[in-house]
Amino acid sequence: MGSNPIVVSGSSTNRTTRPNNNKNKNNNDPCVSSSAFVFLIGSFIILGSICGLYVRFLMTPNVHAGLSAIGCKEDDEGSWSIGVFYGDSPFSLKPIEDTNIWRNESAAWPVANPVITCASASVAGFSSNFVADPFLYVQGDVLYMFFETKNSITMQGDIGVARSTDKGASWEQLGIALDEDWHLSYPYVFDYNGNIYMMPEGRAKGQLRLYRAVKFPMEWTLEKIIMKKPLVDSFIIPHDGKYWLFGSDHRGIGTEYNGQLEIWYSTSPLGPWKPHKKNPIYNTDKSMGARNGGRPFLFDGYLYRVGQDDGETYGRRIRLFKVEVLTTNVFKEVEVPLGLKASIKGRNAWNGARSHHLDVQRLSSGEWIGVTDGDRVPSGDASRRFNLGCASVLGVAALVILFGMLLGAVRGLVPLSWCPHDFGKRSDASLDWEQSNLISSRMRLFCSHLNRASSSLRTRIKPNTCSGSSVLALTFLVIVVLMCTGVKYIYGGSGAHEAYPLHGQYSQFTLLTMTYDARLWNLKMYVKHYSRCSSVREVVVVWNKGQPPELSEFDSAVPVRIRVEEKNSLNNRFKVDPSIKTRSVLELDDDIMMPCDDVERGFKVWREHPERIVGFYPRLANGSPLKYRAESHARKHNGYNMILTGAAFIDSKMAFEMYWSKEAAAGREIVDNLFNCEDVLLNFLYANASSSKTVEYVKPAWAIDTSKFSGVAISGNTQTHYALRSSCLEKFSEMYGSISNRKSEFNHRMDGWDV
């Protein structure tokens, strides 16, 4: 450009050659020398380090991480599991934990829902991502549960079966009862003429099939193809001398998906079947409960149909309908309340987001039992989180470039080498095309404008000024937050703080705190947070002084009970309380805030060692005389012999009775006189009662002392506080023997929870 063309001779055709002005432009590698490259690499290292720390200390671990190789993999359909309920009628069902069933074998005091999960199936030998659609079959005192289990390898549904001999408190996984080459679910099981039949959904095959048990419950054979229709969630019931088949066919043009229902009738479950004259019975919005959601049942002479509300998300909730008229010409039903209360613990509850199936039956004892499925996340949650995570990462990339421009490390938004006019050596035809092509010229203009904008941005912001530095700091903060958010969405799972099962079973504990009127602000925040932890059954507030608050003042997901004490004494913390229904009690000061996951981990460790004090704040009392020191002293000597009960799990019966025994009377008097050392006393009592290990430490990911913000810390003077406790150590050693030789080391657990 600006030079005359050179005519080269000596060839059969004359040729015009353009000079290559870029000959030496790329002699040096720009990536090696450019500040932009160094800046981007540095940014990658810094952000990667920050995200590593975030994952290490703040991200909730996956409860099923050890099972990921064989099952419990993240699935876009959800993480369904199954729970058991009991009641005097189908309308008074309560979860199994409310019946206070205890199982020593699995350290479940009491047993809590869910009773069957993907882990139950996977550990038993058949990999499963989730379990759903439970149906019961009752044989005397033995319960069989058939359910859909999504195979983690084939990614299709199979029919699993489990057996219970204790009314549903524990379940033995028997294996896969039915496996076809297509997806199976909704295993409706019933009796007819002395045989046991199963009619699962298999719409992928395009048929509704009936199977007969050859060797119940594990061997089945195809009895008959009832219909060559891909019916969804179908059941057969006898009513008024006929058999009725309810199901949904979503194939038709104009059919509302999950909002359609059809009925057929026959004189036998084997057919032939005739359609109801009002078919389709429903073709309405998917939230109206048209699609079946479990087994229908009879109660007080009325037939009830279970439907599912798929409005907000698939399987959002169960709806119950009372059938008023069912004839070959007319069908009429009205919705009635079911009575099952939805959890308000959100994702921390096994059924916090949705529940779409119910099978309720009456036992020979007259009691009703129900099984239902539940999920903690809505449908499609995995894809939604992945998309949000990718969007966050892209946002980070854009902000990093912006940050580099403000620093001057990145000179332009678009490198000149990306523009069409600077692609290096090209043919004459290419150059001629670029000159005449409108798109190419506009792209050159767009690149130029972008780079000019980046230069003017740095000129306006002026990083060296106070306002410019503030913009840089704010931009960096947004980058870090957005990056951690992206990592959390992509790798952090559902974000739920799930309970940790032990021997395949879950349990619950009571949360107990001691406080008074000046700390009400702490207490309200405390109750709102911890009541939503998965395994918390009840919050007990020991009110030592002042006017107690009204229960309506608390935002709680579980019952709150305020126990008003006559005397302001620290001994009240361990008072015997017959109203506590769980064996485990978490003594937790109202000024300590930590993640629910830390609480759940501590609860699992206590269930492994219920004879110990299991907590989050270790101390080492040693020396002559014994001296009370901070946790750093225990770390320095790699051991501890006390756990502070301001944040510790204990056996309510054993600990409370021990503390209020005659042997502990003198110790309690010291606690009252000093208004201190109640936790030190309990540690001595535990050590005096056993020759084996009596304390166990669990490291929290993080913990915050909220009393620092409210200014109502009980022990504000650390030096005086430690001196009082050192005095207690000496006195309790004289009474109950020294604990200096009862040292436990850190980092002895295989799971690394005590590092």
Residue 641 has which token pair? 């012999």
Token pair 């979503």 is at which residue? 250
H-only helix segments in 408-519:
428-436, 438-461, 466-491
Backbone angles phi, psi at 485, to 5 degrees: -65, -45
Contact 159, 178 (CB under 8 A): yes
Residue 484 burial by CB count (10 A; 0-12/13-18/19+): exposed, middle or buried? buried
- Cα 86 from Cα 166, distance rounded (Å): 13
Q: Does residue 78 come out as left (phi exceeding 0), alpha (psi in the -120 to 50 range) or beta?
A: left
Contact 283, 259 (CB under 8 A): yes
Question: What is the Cβ-side half-sphere exposure of residue 575, based on CA atoms within 13 angstroms?
Answer: 20
The torsion angle over the Cα atoms of residues 33, 34, 35 and 36, rounded to 10 degrees, is -140
What is the distance between the terminal CA atoms of the chain, rounded to a whole angstrom? 70
Three-class HEC string of 535-590: CEEEEEEEECCCCCCCHHHCCCCCCEEEEECCCCCHHHHHCCCCCCCCCEEEEECC
Contact 214, 195 (CB under 8 A): no
Nearest by Cα to 319 from 345, 346, 287, 351: 287
E strands of 589-629, at which residues? Answer: 592-593, 613-615, 618-619
The conformation of residue 264, written as its DSSP 8-state character, comes to E
Residue 238 burial by CB count (10 A; 0-12/13-18/19+): exposed, middle or buried? exposed
Backbone angles phi, psi at 68, to 5 degrees: -60, -25
Active site residue 98: no
- Active-site residue identified among 285, 432, 679, 751: 679
- Cα 64 from Cα 158, distance rounded (Å): 21
Helix axis angle for 678-689 and 652-659, nearest 10°, is 100
The conformation of residue 294, written as its DSSP 8-state character, comes to B
E strands of 77-184, at which residues? Answer: 81-87, 94-95, 111-112, 131-139, 142-150, 157-164, 172-178
- Cα 131 from Cα 78, distance rounded (Å): 10
Token pair 């199901």 is at which residue? 247
Backbone angles phi, psi at 655, to 5 degrees: -65, -45
Q: Which residues are catalytic?
A: 679
